[in-house]
Amino acid sequence: MDKTLTVLLSGLGGGQSPMVVNLVGPTAQAFRDIAAGNPLRKLSEPDQKLLYSMLKVYAAVTTEDGKKRSKRGSKDGLLEKEAKLVADAAKLGSKLESEVFQGPNSDVLFPYISSFSDLPRQLTEFSKVVGGMLDLFGKRGHKEGNLYGFFLIVASEFVRLKTGQHYDEHLAELYQAVSERSLTEDLSGDAIRKRREYLKKNYPDLYSWMLERARTADESTAPRDPSWTEVASR
C-alpha cells in the first residue's frame, strides 16, 4: 500500500485498506484543476498526495450510499452495532463469572473451564478498552456521522500544520476537484469551519485524536515549505 494511505488509515486501527491506488496521476490532476492562486498548490508533492488521499477517502464515504448510511445510522449503523456488541461483551463476562465459573455446577465443570478462568476478566477489559475508543465518536446515533467527518477534519488540520492557516475555502475548492462534484453548501469553506468548531466544542477527545492523526501525517512528509510566512501552532 502507498505510504500516504497507510499513515492516514492507521488512525483508524491500522491494517490494509481496499483503497489501493496509484495516487500520483490523480493527485497531480486535482491540483492542476484548482485555481492558480490557491495556496494549496504550493504544498510539496508528498503533501499534495497525502492531502488528496484524505479528501478522496472522505469523498468515498460521502457518496449517496454513504449519506444514506449516515442518515440511517441513528441506531442501526455498523458502528452502532459494533458498539453494542462490545458493550455486551462485558455483560457476558459478568454472567460467565457468576453463573459458570462461580455457579452451582462450577465444580463439575472445573476440568473443562479451568483453563478459561481469565475469560470473564478479558471480556470486561476488552469491552472497556474498545468501548472507550468507540465512545470517542459520540453518543448513540452520532457515531457514524462523526466517523465520516474524520478524514475531512484531519485534512483541515493537516493544512493548518503545513501552512499556518486552515484555508477552508481553498480546501473546499480542492475537494471539488478531488471528488469531481459541483461545489455546494454541503462543503463550502464555511461548512468545514463550522464542522471543525462543532467537533472541537462537543467532542474534545475525538477532536484531540484527529489532531494527533494530522500531526502523524504532517511528520510523515517533507518539512514545511520555507516560503510559508505563518508558523503553524502545534
Tell me what pLDDT residue 225 has: 58
Residues 136 and 153 in one domain: no
Within 10 A of 21 (CB to CB), how many other CB atoms are there?
14
Q: Per the domain annotation, does 30 fall within a domain?
A: yes
pTM of the full structure: 0.69
Q: Per the domain annotation, does 57 fall within a domain?
A: yes
Q: Per the domain annotation, does 203 fall within a domain?
A: yes
Residues 100 and 10 in one domain: no
pLDDT in tens, 132-146: 888 877 777 777 777
Last-in-domain residue among 140, 157, 172: 140
Residues 95 and 210 in one domain: no
Q: For residue 183, is pLDDT > 70?
A: no
Average pLDDT, integer, range 62-89:
69
Q: Per the domain annotation, does 175 fall within a domain?
A: yes
Q: Per the domain annotation, does 125 fall within a domain?
A: yes
Last-in-domain residue among 89, 108, 140: 140
Alpha-carbon distance of 74 to 80, in angstroms, equals 8
Long-range pairs for 102-108: beta carbons < 8 A, 24 or more residues apart: none
Burial class of 210 by CB neighbour count within 10 A (0 to 12, 13 to 18, 19+): buried
Residues 58 and 167 in one domain: yes
The better pLDDT of the pair 18, 66 is held by 66
Structural domain containing residue 98 = 75-140
Q: Per the domain annotation, does 228 fall within a domain?
A: no
Side chain identity at residue 107, one-letter code: D
Tell me what pLDDT residue 28 has: 92
pLDDT in tens, 141-182: 777 777 778 889 999 999 999 999 999 999 999 998 998 765
Residues 95 and 189 in one domain: no
Q: Per the domain annotation, does 31 fall within a domain?
A: yes
Confidence of residue 186 (pLDDT cuts 50, 70, 90): low
- Would you say 193 and 166 are in contact if contact means Cβ atoms under 8 Å apart? yes
Number of domains in the chain: 2
Tell me what pLDDT residue 20 has: 41
- Rounding to the nearest 10 degrees, give the CA dihedral for residues 41, 42, 44, 49: -20
Residues 55 and 122 in one domain: no
Q: Per the domain annotation, does 50 fall within a domain?
A: yes
pLDDT in tens, 22-35: 788 899 999 999 99
Residues 59 and 155 in one domain: yes
pLDDT in tens, 82-131: 889 999 999 999 999 999 999 999 999 999 999 999 999 999 999 999 99
Residues 100 and 185 in one domain: no
Last-in-domain residue among 120, 140, 160: 140
